[in-house]
Each structure stands twice: as C-alpha cells, then as structure tokens.
Structure 1
Amino acid sequence: MSKHRLSDYLTHLHQAASDASGFVTGMKLDEFLADKRTQQAVIMNLIIIGEAATRVMEGYGHFAAKHPEIAWSSMRGMRNRIAHGYFDISVEVVWQTIQTAVPELLEQLAALHPDADTEERKSVT
C-alpha cells in the first residue's frame, strides 16, 4: 500500500471541491432538487472531501492544527452524516454547502499548497 503525502490529500480535496462546484454551475436550487444524478455526483464529492480531510487530520494533525481556518472537522462530520445516515440527507443542506462552503474551501486550499510542500520537505529530512 502506498503512503499518501499531504499534498496528495490536498489535491484530492481540491479536485473533489472543484468537481462538485462545477456540477452545479449555472443551476438554480429547483433544478438541483429535480436532478438526482447531479445530487448524487455532488454528494459523492462531499464524501471524498470529508475522507481527505479526515486523512489530513489523522496523518498530519499538526498541519491541520496550523490551519484552523479550514473546517477540517466539519468536512469530516458531513462525510460521516452522509455515509452513515444516507436516508436522512437534506438535499437543501447539500445545496447550501456547495453554494457557500465549497467555494470558500477552494479559496483556502489555493493558499495551502506551498505550506504543504514545506511541511513534506521537513518530514523527509
């Protein structure tokens, strides 16, 4: 099994957030509510985001603690709510997340990569 690096997890976070955001570009809430395929695609990417956030928290806790502006625990919590309470998912909450939290996350992640690269160089030496 290969060991993922911090930058890998951040790349997964960014890709999933970007994909989820792209799936709803130009959509209105009523269109999203009527489009089960898009709902499922967005939900899957929220699970990926939460899983990657969990891996950062568990494998690179010092890095997560150094960046409290990122909602690591909230991402993990949403993933757990989706994965373990699937029949209770509020599609309206998913919509709100994709409209507000995901764009904010994308902005925050852009600033993290240089710090992640520095962090990985320190852990190798």
Structure 2
Amino acid sequence: MKKDDLRVVDYIDHILSAIARIHRYTQGMTNVGFLADELVQDAVIRNLEIVGEAARNIQRDHPSFAAAHSDIPWEEMYLMRNRVAHGYFSVDLGVVWQTLQRDLPELQQQISRIRPS
C-alpha cells in the first residue's frame, strides 16, 4: 500500500499498535529496569517515532479530521517523535519513561474513541 492510499483509520491503527507494543515491551518493568535495558529503550523509542509520524500524517493528509479532534495532542506527538528520532544518544530516557507511564494510557483511550469504523 502506498502512503497516499492510507486512510485516517490506517494511521490511527498504526498509533494504537505502536502504543500496544510499548505497553507489551514495558509490562511489569520499573523505571530502573527500563533505564538498564537498551533493547527495550530502543524498541520504545522506535514505536514513539511511529506514533509521532502517524500523528503528523493525519495532520498533513487529513487536516479536517485532526481539526475535528483538536483535543488530541497531534503536534506534541510529532514533536516527541522529533526529539527521540533526532536526539540519537542524548535522548532523555527519564522523559521517555514518564511519557509512557503518564501520557500513553490516556492517549490510547483518546485515540481508540476517535477511531473511524
């Protein structure tokens, strides 16, 4: 499937799948465990990139949908993607951990509620 053929529901599903993978990778993990596990860090960061890229694609390719759901932090999702994608070895893993603990559960609920059928 070409990128131009992707619909809002496809991008929403990308976001939900990435969040589910992050939860699976970090289930039962503590902050200390996360900071000690480079494989999990890399997997989480990659999936945050997917979340942010899908959010950006919704904003760019489906602006009326993004505007209709302005309570979703589309821009913040993309900015987080940029921070982790371009931070290389200077990514603040404490911020990443806080994001996945504090923000992702609520984001998952918000995104699930607006998913087109």
TM-score by length of 1: 0.87
Aligned counterparts, 1:1-125, within 5 A:
2=2, 3-113=5-115, 116-117=116-117
- Mapped to 2, the partners of 1:6 and 1:64 lie a distance apart of 9
Equivalenced residue count is 115
Deviation of the 1:87 alpha carbon: 2.4
Deviation of the 1:83 alpha carbon: 1.5
- Mapped to 1, the partners of 2:74 and 2:63 lie a distance apart of 10
- Mapped to 2, the partners of 1:84 and 1:37 lie a distance apart of 18
The percentage of counterpart residues that share the same residue type is 43
**Partner deviation per Cα, 1:3-47 (whole Å, 9 max, x = no partner):** 101100000000001111221111110011101110110000000
Deviation of the 1:86 alpha carbon: 1.7
- Mapped to 2, the partners of 1:107 and 1:45 lie a distance apart of 17
- Mapped to 2, the partners of 1:108 and 1:10 lie a distance apart of 11
**Partner deviation per Cα, 1:41-69 (whole Å, 9 max, x = no partner):** 00000000000000000001111111122
Structure with max Cα Rg: 1
Q: Which residue of 2 aligns with 1:121?
A: none
SS in 2 for 1:53: helix
- In the alignment, structure 2 segments of 5+ residues that lack a partner are none
TM-score by length of 2: 0.93
- In the alignment, structure 1 segments of 5+ residues that lack a partner are 118-125
- Mapped to 2, the partners of 1:63 and 1:100 lie a distance apart of 25
SS in 1 for 2:72: coil
